[in-house]
Structure 1
Amino acid sequence: MQLHTNNKIQKLLRIYRRRGALGLLNFLYQITKSRLKNKIAYQKWIKKNTLTEQDITSTCHQIEQWQLRPKFSIIMPVYNVEAKWLTKAIESVRNQIYPNWELCIADDASTYPHIRSILTDYSKLDPRIKVIFRTENGHISTASNSALEVVTGEYIALLDHDDELSIDALFENAKLINQYPEADFIYSDEDKIDENGSRFSPYFKPDWSPEYFYSCMYTCHLGVYRTSIIREIGGFRSEYDGSQDYDLVLRVVEKTKNIYHIPKILYHWRSISVSAASGSQAKPWAYTAGRKALESMLERSLYSGRVEETINPGIYRVRRDIIGNPLVSIIIPSAGTTIKTPSGSLCLLENCLRSIQQVSTYRNFEIIVVDGYDIPKETLETIAAGNVELVRCAEPFNFSMRINKGAVQAKGEFLLLLNDDTEVITPDWLESMLELVQQIEIGVVGAKLLFPDGKIQHTGVLILEGNPCHAFYGFDNEASGYYCSNIVNRNYLAVTAACLMMRKELFQQLEGMDEHFPLNYNDVDLCLKAHQAGYRNVVTPYAQLIHYESASRQKGLKPGEWHLLNNKWNNYFEYLKTDPYYNINLSSKTANFELSQ
């Protein structure tokens, strides 16, 4: 608890030093205002989304029509829990709309006398409830494995002894399995529930997002897994107690790609003083175990590396070792524009090149500047001294065309598309992008871009109802974002070409940038091509640049650009149904991960 408190104080002191007392007060005001707004919105959401008697009748009719009626074995390790919470947890299973389940309880040698009587009574009351009384305390993984021994269902689900399932939790999972019988791992959204039964802090999750998962155990509750895979990987491992579920899923996803997400709240995580749901201070050892689980994953991975803990408990940074010393070709279209700043005139191209040369710790790069014979002579003379290759393009400005021309001249294994109105501020920006983009499953990697005042310009592109939107545009860079989305590696459908890295081989395979998009959406189009081809795209907040947005060219869309994008990708948008890295419960009107009203 002390470490968590110290981290919060350090963050507030950092904001105070940068912005002064008024800046700190404004930051705290905005955070408080946002939390209150979300709290009110969620209570409205609950009222709107609570099942009615008619809904329940309808679900029962659906069950009768199904061809598949999978059996769920709910594993629940128990140890010295209060009687009222244990009873609520068991009753939440007995109240399930879907009837084909068994509850496999392993009591881990509890010393509270009420435990045995409650469990014995329930096992007599309902034949679907199986109880094992362990004779010695082995902790949560050992107890979970004891419960696993008596499982007979095709799927297991995990329930903590003081939490609750929503009434439709198993129904929704069975419904998905009827649609996708190949499903091996299913997770859903969750919220928290206090001692009075009030629900709060909903977590509306993205679809499967590996880079996000390596940063935090976001899938969490409710987790449903094919039993045969759990047995194949050896069940739970006691050396990871505290983060045993994280370790379990890290091994499960190495065995299957059949991972599905149900965007509905099916699990209520009890927030009491002894529960991890009450805050990061409740079980600090869990975060050490989480790091160990990730380190074990790295030992099994093709891409070796290390794990770093962050100032936020339970949030990690997986650092992959860069393979070799590959050449990065940095391609910068430019007209050598000069802008006015509070400090005086600034040549954007010279400033960009200077920051690359002076700040970057990774040195194996080449710089290719593509211009339209419009860079001023004095700027050309300046950049010539910096070992920069110049590629000239006589055609009217077309960003895609200039990038493609620069790529033809590139000698590097990796291409970095970069706007001239950017300025590098993190020394290991190239390493941070390289360690991701070198992985063959990853297509495109983007950076975190900030306005000169420190507000967010780019940290990923969401596509909401056909509209590409920058996530958290204009938000405070110090804010962690929706469940730490601003401060961890995270998958997005697209990133901005203002700073975009990918393998040259893949760029060529995708036939480069579509020159039908001369100004806008060329980056979205490129990223969609990569995603459609089976690659995942990532934004890393550990590569940060200042972006003097659109300072070197006109703002706004050219006529027809949005329609061109949507006409080209309409079928794919229909296939995706929604942005997989967002959530349908969140607002499609803004890209701020706010709850729909």
Structure 2
Amino acid sequence: MNIFRHKEYIKEYELELLKQTAPYDYYLIASGGDTGSGKADGRGKKGRKAVLNVDEGSLNEELTDRFSDYRVYELSEWYIFIKEPAVPDWTVISEGLGSEEPLVYFDHDYITRGKRHTPYFKPEWSPDTFLSCDYIDDVFAVRAELFESEAYGSKLKKAANIHELIWQIAGKGADIGHVGRIAAHIETDSLFDEEVYEEYVRERNGITVQKALKALRGDACPVKGDSYFVSVIIPSKDHSEILENCLRSIIKSSFNKLNIEVLIVDNGSIESEKNKITDIINNVCNEFDDKHPEREGAFAIKYIYEPMEFDFSTMCTLGAREARYGLLLFLNDDIEVRDEDAIEKMCSCAMREDIGAVGVKLLYPETTLIQHDGITDLDCGPSHKLAGHDDRSVYYFGVNRFNRNVLAVTGACLMIGKEKYFNIGGFNVKMKVSYNDVELCLKCLKKGLRNLLLNDTVMYHHESLLRGRDDISEEKRRRLTVERELLYRTNEWLKRDG
């Protein structure tokens, strides 16, 4: 779409249209100012003609004055909120307002000295991502009638900031629409993606924004009770030293609210390793008593010895059946808990009725290299986001900085409510090693639960000491392929829509 307001440009473009090879192009003759409408009259080489009526919104001065960082327009039956400074694409906006939802948000990109760059293709409505960074506030539309409605009117008029305004609609269970097209070009001096990402994160980590979002999080995610009861299930075999490191990292956690039982599921360690593990359990329990003499929370370890071939799904479910507590944390024995409040943070999220699986950012030990930051579906199959990338850098609009809803999280560190786990069928025993975590998370989504990745806490992953890497042998490659194909057969929508 090309927009012209001067006759000489219009004439010049008409001549260019005669040369084009496409059936037709559009051009728009528009009036100036904040209001106006135009008619697009395109003529192509084959003589085809296309006419498109496009209305620009009229400025709503009251809402623009109230939200000073925005220009708010009236268009049809909607209020359009566009963060300043930006150039709106009224064609995209107009076409996107056919939605039935009360609130619709759009994608955007950036423009520097006339050059467009760094598009932000946003996820579908993700409440936890919004509450961490409000990713939809750059350009969105609200039905005007909501400001006068009994259900929303008074709260929208009292909203102290743009984030509260959005949440008064989005946080009350309303359907939220997403138009996956670029509807605004935000003006910036930065030409490079990395600079845009860093500025985006700085803005959303600012005191004003985070104070507003923190208030909304407190309303949306109230903490239930004074204590958390979690059963940590650790599959392990012949890795006494690695297991000891994992256990000692757990007891470094803050036990102000935590009550933890650890269930070690051993699928057949040799006798010497078995004896070492028994000694380690006794030593760690004694060390816990010394470390937390005035603790409020409890700590215990149970050792389950069940010789079998390595079968992650069966071993985890065996531990889950033995678990006494209502939250399950599946943990590889090569995980090291780095932050003392990590498990507590996971518990506070996993207790929510709307949340399925909860995971955290995993780094390679003693480095800033990312091992896991959520799972996405690629052509090669479900894969860890940002694996091998340096966490000191900011990636795609803070994808490694803000807590966010994700497709799936790794089973190396995954928390879920025990009742939810068994209600959705637990880990698929047909997937003994790989993709069982993804399949579990997909079952959560099918039940209307959201999966959550926490970027505000970190653990270390001494990756695959448990079984070796998936790509070492032909046998393991075949097993990986079979389990991936099973995942897609039971979730055909994933390959189609992923």
TM tier, shorter chain?
0.7 to 0.9
8 Å contact kept, 2:54–2:91:
no
Cα distance between partner residues in 2 of 1:506 and 1:278: 36
The answer to whether the aligner puts 1:348 opposite 2:242 as a matched pair is yes
Say if 2:232 and 2:328, in contact at 8 Å, map to a contact too: yes
1:506 Cα deviation after fit: 0.2
Partner of 1:157: 80
Determine helix, strand or coil for the equivalent of 2:258.
Answer: coil
Deviation per CA, 1:524-546, whole angstroms, max 9, x where unpaired? 11111111111110110233111
Aligned AA (2:456): Y
Match of 1:578 in 2: 497
Q: Indicate the residue corresponding to 2:252 in structure 1.
A: 358
The CA distance in 1 between the partners of 2:419 and 2:206, in whole Å, is 39
**Residues 202 and 331 (structure 1), Cα distance of their counterparts in 2 relative to 1, 3 Å cut:** same
Distance 1:372 1:352 in 2: 18
Task: Identify the match of residue 170 of structure 1 among 93, 101, 107.
Answer: 93
Partner of 1:332: 234
* Alpha-carbon distance between aligned partners in 2 of 1:286 and 1:480, rounded to the nearest angstrom: 13
Cα drift, residue 95 of structure 1: 7.6
Aligned equivalents of 1:451, 1:285: Cα separation in 2: 27
Q: Offset at 1:285?
A: 12
TM-aligned CA deviation for residue 221 of structure 1: 3.2
> Which among 368, 372, 392 is matched to residue 267 of structure 2?
372
| Local SS of the residue matching 2:349 | helix
> Which whole-Å deviations, capped at 9, do the CAs of 1:266-311 have from their partners, x for residues lacking one?
21123379xxx99969x9899454345335534643x33xxxxxxx
What's 1:431 paired with?
344
Task: Show CA shifts across 1:533-588 (max 9, x none).
Answer: 11110110233111110012122145244344444444644278434xxxxxxxxx
Say whether 1:400 aligns with 2:302: no
CA change 1:455–1:286 in 2 (3 A) is closer
Give the structure 1 partner of residue 145 of structure 2: 228
User: 1:412 maps to which residue?
Assistant: 325
Report what 1:500 is aligned to. 414
Residues 55 and 75 of structure 2 are in contact (CA less than 8 Å); yes or no, is this contact kept in structure 1?
no
Count of residues in correspondence between the two structures: 433
> Structure 1: how far apart are the matches of 2:456 and 2:83?
35
Shift of the alpha carbon at 1:165?
1.9
Residue number among 140, 157, 160 corresponding to 2:66 in the alignment: 140
* TM-aligned CA deviation for residue 430 of structure 1: 1.0
Letter in 2 for 1:192: Y
SS at match of 1:562: helix
Q: Distance in 1 between matches of 2:322 and 2:339?
A: 27
Gaps of 5+ in 1: 1-50, 61-85, 109-133, 305-320, 339-346, 580-597
Deviation at 1:459, TM superposition (A): 0.9
Q: Quick check: which one's strand share is greater?
A: 2
- Corresponding position: 1:389 with 2:302: yes
1:220-299, aligned counterparts within 5 Å? 220-232=137-149, 233-234=152-153, 237=157, 240=160, 244-271=161-188, 287-298=206-217
- Partner SS state of residue 252, structure 1: helix
The structure 2 residue matched to 1:186, chosen from 78, 84, 104, is 104
| Equivalent residues in 2 for 1:78-117, closer than 5 Å | 99=53, 101=55, 103-107=57-61
Letter in 2 for 1:508: F
Partners of 1:208 and 1:351 in 2: how far apart?
39
| Residues 426 and 542 in structure 1, CA contact (< 8 A), matched pair in contact too | no
Check the 8 A contact 2:105/2:140 in 1, yes or no. yes
Question: Take 1:221 and 1:477, find their aligned partners in 2: how far apart are those partners?
Answer: 26
Q: Which residue of 1 aligns with 2:129?
A: 212
Tell me what 2:451 maps to.
537
- How far did 1:220 drift? 2.3
Match of 1:475 among 373, 376, 389: 389
Cα distance in 2 between the residues matched to 1:381 and 1:142: 65
Q: CA deviation at 1:458?
A: 0.5
TM-score by length of 1: 0.65
CA distance in 1, matches of 2:197, 2:248: 48
User: In structure 2, what is the Cα distance between the partners aligned to 1:370 and 1:220?
Assistant: 47
Give how far 1:522 is off.
Answer: 0.9
1:505–1:167 Cα change, 3 Å: same
In the superposition, the TM-score normalised over structure 2's length comes to 0.77
Q: 1:95 to 1:350 in 2, by over 3 A?
A: farther
Q: What is the CA deviation profile of residues 469-496 of structure 1, one whole-angstrom value per residue up to 9, with x for unaligned ones?
A: 1101011122232211112111111101
Does structure 2 retain, via aligned residues, the 8 Å contact 1:433–1:543?
no
Q: Residue deviations 1:210-239, cap 9 Å, x none?
A: 111111121123312233334432385577
SS in structure 2 of the partner of residue 327 of structure 1: strand
Question: Pairwise CA RMSD of aligned residues?
Answer: 3.6
2:360 partner SS: strand
Alignment counterpart, residue 404 of structure 2, candidates 490, 496, 509: 490
Alpha carbons of structure 1 residues 219 and 142: separation in structure 2 relative to 1, 3 Å: closer
Q: 2:294 maps to what in 1?
A: none
Question: Structure 1 segments of 4 or more deviating over 4 A?
Answer: 51-57, 86-91, 93-98, 142-145, 235-239, 277-281, 283-289
Provide the residue aligned with 1:562 in structure 2. 481
Q: In 2, Cα distance between the equivalents of 1:266 and 1:214?
A: 23
Tell me what 1:450 maps to: 363
- 1:509 maps to which residue? 423
Are 2:369 and 2:390, in contact at CA under 8 Å, matched by a contact in 1? Answer: yes
Q: 1:563 to 1:267 in 2, by over 3 A?
A: farther
- Separation in 2, partners of 1:322, 1:157: 37
Separation of aligned partners in 2, 1:171 and 1:239: 26
Q: 1:219 to 1:518 in 2, by over 3 A?
A: same
Asked if the contact 2:362–2:460 (Cα under 8 Å) also holds between the matched residues in 1, the reply is: yes
Look up the SS of the partner of 1:201 in the other structure: strand
2-structure distance, mates of 1:491, 1:532: 14
- Deviation readout 1:18-63 (Å, 9 max, x if unpaired): xxxxxxxxxxxxxxxxxxxxxxxxxxxxxxxxx9975756x99xxx
Identity of aligned residues (%): 28
CA contact (8 A) 2:227 2:258 kept: no
8 A Cα contact 1:330 1:365, kept in partner: yes
CA contact (8 A) 2:313 2:433 kept: yes
Change (3 A) 1:278 1:477: closer
Is contact 1:370–1:393 with CA below 8 Å preserved after alignment? yes
Q: Which amino acid aligns with 1:246?
A: H
